[in-house]
Copies of this chain bind each other. A is one copy, B any other.
């Protein structure tokens, strides 16, 4: 394995010259630069990442923090990681995966003390997440995917829930729907102050009022019976409901089964729109669901570039904190039935 010394010796210059030439850290005469690159190539020289890190005090590694729980079905969440990795590599960084208990601040502290990573990207943050305090205390740059309400207003990237809800209601109104149901996630999540549930809750009522829509919200877990009961009340309590918005990927199967089980057709009798859903997930239902899908690519690109800007002490432009969802029109939403 060739080292920088070998390259320097071969060209007849000092190691620093080689270092500067390769990193472009300092102007080097064109001819020497040429010779150095040539020699490096011939020797198959490649700088050792570790040695470089030790000297420069920067590892060019960032870690993505996941809770250590099994999460059962998570539709296509893998794209999240591969995307993050790709974005990071494009900017010269490596992506590490750390699985920790949400409460594992001590373990996190130890990991950070090793100084293996330059920054952190936090997933699935809950309100008043204690890891955030640890990160600040250890003075580690970080960014949150999903918003923690206790966090400073400058460290997160999230879905634009208001925009999504507005467009969704507007879309349905355009189809002639005046009575819309909204199946949110569990009441427990709501009481816990879980961001997506809270934001969509607020947005739904706000825009229903705004658009003159008669809207009703239902909280619903994803266990079969719960979903069944929820659909039951949605369908029987309000016969005029002709469209249903769902932010609950895991309950979708049950919801569809419940509706069709009642002899109702989608979208002829009732329209269904999934929101904030994982990219592509909705397409695998029967019928394929019209959905406002998270823009994973945009979210990750924003998160990674912001994080790296922060690491490198560059000014991080705050332009795109909230990322809009992408509307994919498929076959579950249609004109309101006339009665």
Chain A residues with a Cβ under 8 A of chain B: 1, 44, 46-51, 53-54, 59, 61, 66, 68, 70-82, 84-86, 89, 94-99, 110, 113-116, 250, 253-254, 256-257, 279-281, 283-286
Contact = CB atoms under 8 A, between A and B. Distances in A.
Nearest to A51: B54
B99 A86 contact: yes
Nearest to A53: B50
Given A71-B78, A86-B68, A286-B253, A46 B114 contact: yes
B48 A115 contact: yes
Contacts of A254: 286
Closest 6 pairs between A and B when the two form their complex, measured CB to CB: A46-B113, A77-B78, A49-B114, A49-B116, A85-B97, A257-B286
Contact of A96 (B47, B95, B257): B95
Given A74-B76, A97-B95, A97-B97, A116 B82 contact: no
21 contacts: A1-B115, A46-B114, A47-B114, A48-B54, A49-B116, A66-B82, A68-B82, A68-B86, A71-B78, A73-B75, A73-B76, A75-B75, A75-B76, A77-B77, A78-B80, A81-B81, A96-B97, A250-B284, A253-B284, A254-B286, A256-B286
Nearest to A114: B49
Contacts of A1: 113, 115
Contacts of A77: 76-78
Contacts of A68: 82, 86
Contacts of A281: 73
B99 A89 contact: yes
Contacts of A70: 79
A101 to B, nearest CB: 11
Point out which of A44, A50, A79, A283 has the most chain B C-beta atoms below 10 A from its C-beta: A50
Contacts of A50: 50, 53-54, 59, 115-116
A78 B82 contact: no
Given A48-B114, A50-B50, A50-B53, 16 more contacts: A46-B113, A47-B114, A48-B115, A49-B114, A50-B116, A61-B96, A68-B86, A72-B280, A74-B78, A75-B75, A77-B77, A78-B78, A78-B80, A89-B98, A256-B286, A257-B286
A309 to B, nearest CB: 21
Nearest to A257: B286
Contact of A285 (B75, B94, B253): B253
A95 B81 CA distance: 12
Nearest to A67: B82
Given A49-B114, A250-B284, A81 B54 contact: no
A71 B81 contact: no
A116 B94 contact: yes
Contact of A46 (B71, B99, B110): B110
Contacts of A82: 66, 68, 97, 99
